[in-house]
Chain A
């Protein structure tokens, strides 16, 4: 079993504090959802944990199985088992999905170890079948001219191939119509397994009807202010974020 521990984390963009003391532990097999209104620091949390250079961690720690990630480069964190499904994935013109994933898989092999090409393609096609993705998809350049739904499916396919220990999913539902949402959710559910921990960041409850979380956290002004099980998401949906705000003010 693996543990991802976020301990009293403070993150700033430039001089501006965004995440202000957030603590959260995710275990393998668990799905956590972080909900909250826009501008509350949800995406900042995900990018800071993944090591984006524009985000400064001013204090606190992030540990993967007891080992701090903070001194590690983004690629080292990725190879240690951390995956970020981006809200806005980058386009890489001229680089096909198949070649990109191949490079990413190769990067996880030891020095002097060569990728077995036929084994790689067998595995890739199996994952594509699992996620019901057309074979032609992987010859397209990464995210280049993709629709919103295609970008998110591309993220899920990468997650399936790289088999991370923990996945941070940043607004995976944004920009998707209900059919696309269902397809993406089916993909994530197909990857849910005892050794994968998931931290889902979302603005809306609707994703959580398809990917049912074990734990729900409400984030407000850079902190987690409320935690509960899946019923918290429904309560939030019914009462709106103002409910949390009012509770905070009265406290």
Chain B
């Protein structure tokens, strides 16, 4: 079965004039362009067993993977949308109108020169090759369903670090992949993890050998180019005993009039004494449904830290979690969510304590602007039989303008008396007086709002690697300047 690319449904190049930023190059306006592509591989519109078989065939997958996908499809179809607790907006996703697989080729290129022109231009406009030269140990750049470029610096590869996309990794490292794949987040965890398991493509596979400390971050960049498209990357990171890794991901999509779906699954495994830091700076256009499942398992004395910045999208539902499986394991979620007009950031964290002396820390800050809505959902679970576990949860919300809405749903279950938990929540507003004060010093209303938002997240942003805190500040500036009517 081979479906021809349906060129008529492809968007015209938007190529809107946008303020270029020569330094970081990733801003919301700069992401708002797309190229008309002739996709060599296209699974067509809608989701059925045929779609799944097509994707698997194109990737020349082993039979167990096809089985895995088909089973996931059944689970996806059987599960209802979780609208009994989540927003009814989920019901507006039309799964029959989405295109589930679009690719120009199967093998990512190792040098930018080999990458097809339009795709290369896309990533150049987003500043990726520049960042790679400056501070990254390796980059994977995904364009719609597949990685167009993937490279790891020699010095890191020589340490035995594997950095590949999921398609490659399934072919070349099945023994490691299969052992951990789908174990942290089972297919049936939720409707969207089932969807991802059925049609996944791309995403990163990383293995860091025992004791190897990767000195520079590895980065993946996920770019949606096509309209009515669903991106379903699948990431699996394994940090072997005593190893350390920082991984960053960035994402953008052009602004189409129809909605786009992004539904990833990210699984992390930190073996004894390993440390994984996973940083996300997403900057989706406001037509994107971003429904992502992220979870890590931290073994004895291991540490998993999620740093999650959610800017843009129509609806984001994302609750990074850590299962603290081994004694003295540590889990942390630092999250910043900015909900502007017409956006809903439904984010949070899950900390599942499953061993003695495990500690977890959640700091969530949300900003709601105009009609924007932020929701924090958290789960902290410490069962009765454990001793010496600690959790600290802090949720702070900032409201800019009276129409904004914020909700906090912290579910903290701590049993037994040998554990401690601390929870603080605050809601504050940027007042007219504050804005006037700053305007009186010569800042425009937009600059004033942006400065108060940056002040609000300042203590968190300073924990980021420098390049990303600069980037976050710039995204906030752009977002706030656009929000002044």
Contact = CB atoms under 8 A, between A and B. Distances in A.
Interface string B395-410: 0000000000000000
A107 B447 contact: yes
Interface stretch (A7-15, A74-82, A192-200, A223-231): A74-82
B436 interface: yes
Given A73-B439, A78-B441, A92-B455, 19 more contacts: A50-B440, A51-B440, A75-B443, A78-B440, A83-B440, A90-B431, A90-B436, A91-B434, A92-B451, A92-B452, A94-B457, A94-B459, A95-B451, A95-B455, A100-B441, A104-B441, A107-B442, A107-B443, A107-B444
10 closest A-B pairs by CB: A94-B455, A95-B455, A94-B458, A90-B437, A74-B439, A104-B441, A78-B442, A75-B439, A107-B442, A90-B434
A89 B455 contact: no
B485 to A, nearest CB: 13
Given A54-B432, A103-B447, A92 B441 contact: no
Contacts, number: 80
A93 B456 contact: yes
B130 interface: no
B432 to A, nearest CB: 7
A167 B381 CA distance: 57
Interface in A165-199: none
Interface string B424-446: 00001001111011111111110
B455 A86 contact: no
A67 interface: no
Contact of B436 (A52, A79, A107, A162): A52
Contact of A104 (B443, B452, B456): B443
Chain A interface: which size bin? Answer: 20 to 34
A51 B458 CA distance: 29
Interface of B: 428, 431-434, 436-445, 447-448, 451-452, 454-459
Contacts of B451: 92, 95, 99-100, 103
Nearest to A85: B440
A228 B65 CA distance: 92
B458 A95 contact: yes
- Chain B contact residues: helix, strand, loop or mixed: helix
21 contacts: A53-B432, A74-B436, A74-B440, A75-B444, A78-B442, A79-B442, A86-B440, A89-B437, A90-B431, A91-B434, A92-B452, A93-B455, A93-B456, A94-B459, A95-B458, A100-B438, A100-B441, A101-B441, A103-B447, A107-B441, A162-B442
Residue in A53, A75, A83, A108 with the greatest tally of chain B CB atoms within 10 Å:
A75
A141 interface: yes
Contacts of A86: 437, 440
Interface string A108-121: 10000000000000
A208 B442 CA distance: 29
Contacts of A94: 454-459
Most chain-A Cβ atoms within 10 A of its Cβ — which of B445, B455, B456, B459?
A: B455
A66 B434 CA distance: 30
Contacts of A84: 440
Contacts of A103: 443, 447, 451
A158 interface: yes
Interface in A103-147: 103-104, 107-108, 141
B452 A78 contact: no
A44 B440 CA distance: 15
A79 B438 CA distance: 12
Nearest to A105: B442
A14 to B, nearest CB: 15
Contacts of A50: 440
Interface of A: 50-54, 73-75, 77-79, 83-84, 86, 89-95, 99-101, 103-104, 107-108, 141, 158, 162
Contact of B445 (A73, A77, A91, A100): A73
Nearest to A99: B451
A66 B443 CA distance: 24
A52 to B, nearest CB: 5
A127 B431 CA distance: 30
Nearest to B398: A93
B454 A95 contact: yes
A194 to B, nearest CB: 23
B444 to A, nearest CB: 5
A53 B436 contact: yes
Given A95-B452, A103-B447, A107-B444, A90 B433 contact: yes
Interface centre among A74, A93, A103 (most CB of B within 10 A): A74
Contacts of B431: 90
B399 to A, nearest CB: 14
Contacts of A53: 432, 436
B441 A162 contact: yes
Contacts of B441: 75, 78, 100-101, 104, 107, 158, 162
Contacts of B432: 53-54
B365 to A, nearest CB: 10
Contacts of A107: 441-444, 447
A74 B459 CA distance: 29
Contacts of A79: 442
Contacts of B452: 92, 95
A79 B454 CA distance: 23
Contacts of B459: 94
B201 to A, nearest CB: 41
B281 to A, nearest CB: 19
Nearest to B430: A92
B442 A108 contact: yes
Contacts of B428: 93
Contacts of B447: 103, 107
Nearest to A84: B440
A89 B444 CA distance: 18
A94 B448 CA distance: 13
